[in-house]
Structure 1
Amino acid sequence: MQMINKETKKFLNKLLLYILVIFIAFYMLFPFWWAVVSSFKNEAQLQMVPATFLPRDPVTNKIFFDLKNYRSIFNDGTFLRGLLNSTIVATSVTLLALAVGSFSAFALGKLRFKGKNASLYIILAMTMFPQVTVLTGLYAVINALRLPAMASMILSYMLFTLPFTTWVLTSFFKELPVELMQSAQVDGATPFQSFKYILLPLTAPALVTTGLLAFIAAWNEYLFALTFTSIEPSARTIPVAIALFTGAVSRQEPFGEIMAAAVIVTIPIIILVLYFQKRIVAGLTAGAVKG
């Protein structure tokens, strides 16, 4: 009887775990599923009551996928220009954050100098400021320097991605055995050569993980992009371009086109995550086990 109770308890625990996992998966995936379904609906399908979980013809109630929204956004020069601008800005921010952050992390993780701990805490403190608190002052500085909108966004995004990148990479450099650097120095390598040829390749998983997070942050950023491109519409990134979509009819909310654009914008992130999946997992678990 006790054995049955234990087996029943074990079964119920597994059942509850599966129910919880299914609920979390549904909670996380349903918004994206709804966006995909809505992107294939025309105006009449979007106004159907009750709403349908698949695109259906309002008359015959048969499943019908309409590609009108996708044709509309790809024929929109503003959307395509925003896609290109976002790619340039996000890629530039990621490369700069990794380049500068890896040098800083190497110095903070492996070199000895006065004020190292204070520098780490200052870097950590910089990540605590919300964007809106520095927006006004930053906009005044950039306006006084007369920087173009694209450069302004790249520099402003670096204020938030660089401290995060440096802090995360520092922990990875600290985990690397100091004997690697010492043996390289015995062979005549300079600190820069030790960093470039020995330590940096070993931190590839960390670089991929932090780089992807920096790319996503720059790709999705809206507040700074809206502010800095207000007087230069040609430099608008994709979040701003989507937010400023206008319908073909006066006072129309182009919900279907917005959903189609959201799906297209999400696809590059999904591709990057799937392509670098193994390195991301290695980067997240590195240093978790010692020995």
Structure 2
Amino acid sequence: MTDLALPLPVRKSSAYYRLRRRVLRGLQIFALFLVLIYTLFPYYWAFVSSTKQGAALYRSVLLPALDFTYYRQLIDNPVFMSSLLNSAYVAVATTFLSLVIGVSAAYALGRIDFPQRRAVLMVILMISIFPQVVVLSGMFELINWLGLFNRPSALVLTYLLSTVPFTTWILTTFIREFPRELEEAAIVDGCSHLRILLKILLPLMGPSLASTGILAFILAWNEFLFALTFTLTDENRTVPVAIGLIAGTNRYEYPFGQIMAASVTVTLPLIAVVLVFQRRIVAGLTAGAVKG
């Protein structure tokens, strides 16, 4: 019998691999381009719509002539500027109190051993997933009993119900990542738990505090249901409610341009905060992802 000649494996040239890498890279760039268009185009269209007036709103023009009349009207509107200041006060106060309470609770849950620790964590997680409608009537009675109705302080107290649980849960995870040798050395030197938290752990928690604080700030800035329920007058309302109550000059007019201008305006503080704390946010989100 004659031996059958087996075909030799075909060796692919380096040009093939270079072409393959270029094609894959091109596909990745194209996919990234599609994602950017999908995520950024609504914001661009909102800005473009806020610079149109009258019948121009119904023309699909990507690069129209910019008209900032609506923005000037917002700046000259004392009700909107007052709501902007109220939102800033409520969001900053809520974020600060959430971090103070959350850090203290997270240290106790992450470092101090007590029998009910796991049960407390489960309760905190359950509270954080409650819908707002479930607690609306109870919070209404509490706010009314405390005499805080129709005040921005009522919103700060109400928002803590949503921000403190998830702040505590996230910070507990971060605190658990720190080596216990730091605390053991401090305890040997005579440090109390409060001093360990303030002098040792807190300076190391900058990224986690930034990422968690941003989430609490955004939640307080964008919240609508509680703000609509607990504030009745224009001088005490926050920005989401003020935007929702913008009306046209008559009952048949829908003020789309004004609403888009207000929406773009209230988005700018969030963008500024995220850009300022960008590095700390990324470090906080990736903390603990790689060990060793």
Does TM, scored on the shorter chain, surpass 0.5?
yes
Equivalent residue, structure 2, for 1:190: 192
Is 2:43 the counterpart of 1:32?
yes
Equivalent residue, structure 2, for 1:209: 211
Equivalent residue, structure 2, for 1:175: 177
What RMSD, in angstroms, separates the aligned Cα atoms of the two structures? 1.6
Normalised by the length of structure 1, the TM-score is: 0.91
Report SS of the residue matched to 1:289: coil
Which amino acid in 1 is paired with 2:142? Answer: V
Equivalent residue, structure 1, for 2:62: 53
User: Please, which moves more after superposition, 89-98 or 188-197?
Assistant: 188-197
How many pairs align? 280
Unaligned 5+ segments in structure 1 are: 56-63
> CA deviation digits over 1:214-251, x for unaligned, max 9?
0001000111111111x344211000001111223453
Q: C-alpha separation between the residues in 2 aligned to 1:184 and 1:286?
A: 23
Identity of aligned residues (%): 46
Unaligned 5+ segments in structure 2 are: 1-9
Report SS of the residue matched to 1:72: helix
Q: C-alpha separation between the residues in 2 aligned to 1:121 and 1:15?
A: 46
> CA deviation digits over 1:120-147, x for unaligned, max 9?
1111111121212222232233234432
Is 2:291 the counterpart of 1:290?
yes
Is 2:71 the counterpart of 1:79?
no
Which amino acid in 1 is paired with 2:53? Answer: N
- Verify the 8 A CA contact 2:49 2:257 in the aligned structure 1: yes
Equivalent residues in 2 for 1:1-291 (5 A)?
A: 2-3=12-13, 6-48=17-59, 51-55=60-64, 64-149=65-150, 150-229=152-231, 231-291=232-292
Q: C-alpha separation between the residues in 1 aligned to 2:169 and 2:141?
A: 28
User: Please, which moves more after superposition, 144-153 or 80-89?
Assistant: 144-153
Q: C-alpha separation between the residues in 2 aligned to 1:100 and 1:156?
A: 14
* 1:252 Cα deviation from its structure 2 partner: 1.8
Q: C-alpha separation between the residues in 1 aligned to 2:67 and 2:251?
A: 22
